[in-house]
Amino acid sequence: MTSFLFLFRRECHRFCKVLVQTVLTPVISAGLYLLIFGVSLGQHIDLAGTRYLAFLIPGLMMMGLMNNSFQNSSSSLVSSKFTGDIEDLAIVPLSRTNIIWAMSFASVIRGAMVATITLFVGEFFYYFQYQELLIPAHPFWLFYFIVMAGLVFGQLGLIAAFWAKTFDQLSAISTFIILPLTYLGGVFIPVSQLDPVWQMVSMANPLLYFINGLRYSMIGMTDVSVSLSALLVFVVGLILHLVAHRVLSRVSFTRW
């Protein structure tokens, strides 16, 4: 248990040392998205009674959460490969399962921080625009989807880090896989307003269910059933955990 907590605290301390990247970058990114899309263009978008700014804020929260959870575990392991620190994981009294959970929970903390910061920035714009705050409609589902998304993408980052041989390969996963799937997951526009072909593509996109789950928890609006979203998120998390455990049981903790 002591080794587990030490690894968890080390991972949290690592991203806290780069608060500009962890805190300032999400503030700027969220602010620009909200200013350009939420405030400037949002007044011209009709969502059948739902304010576009309220629709946008949960999507940006989940987008920041997923990206930062993925980056936390993946960048930590890839950096450790270069420095040789990864060899320490082979000698500490930690099981593969403990390593996975320690790094995954640290990813949850970082992802939740970014989601919370994005919410605060969104609340500022929302209050400025409508003189009221955006209150989460379903706090339990909010907690569930934040924790599950952090765990899922933290473990995805761990798997990707052991697969990648260079930082470029790791960046390619984020740029060419996660980012397009995020944009097709309904961050900026409801899936129901897409062309029928793209609606079918989006429905096959697992990230759609993460984004809509969080949106339902915030404003009670969703393109898919929240029960289906919760179940699919859990199944994806279980599959990735099994894959991560298999990957760690087959790799050698050696530097590049």
C-alpha 70/C-alpha 66 separation (Å) is 6
User: Tens of pLDDT along 103-135?
Assistant: 999 999 999 999 999 999 999 999 988 899 999
Sequence ranges of the domains in the chain: 2-250
pLDDT at residue 89 above 90?
no
Confidence band (pLDDT; 50, 70, 90) for 39? confident
Neighbouring CB atoms inside 10 A of 195's CB total: 8
What is the per-residue pLDDT across 43-82, written as a single tens digit (0 to 9) for each?
A: 767 677 788 899 999 999 999 999 999 999 988 888 777 7
pTM: 0.92
**Which three-class secondary structure state does DSSP give residue 70?**
helix
Collapsing DSSP states into helix, strand and coil, what is residue 221? coil
Q: Are 233 and 213 in contact (CB under 8 A)?
A: yes
Is pLDDT at 158 greater than 60 in this prediction?
yes
> What mean pLDDT is predicted for residues 142-164?
93
Mean pLDDT, the chain, rounded, equals 87
Is the predicted pLDDT of residue 169 greater than 90, yes or no?
no
| Whole-number Cα distances in Å, 199 to 54, 175, 186, 191, 195 | 22, 22, 10, 6, 6
Burial 208-245 (b: 16+ CB within 10 A, else e): bbbbbbbbbbbbebbbbebeebbebbeebbeebbeebb
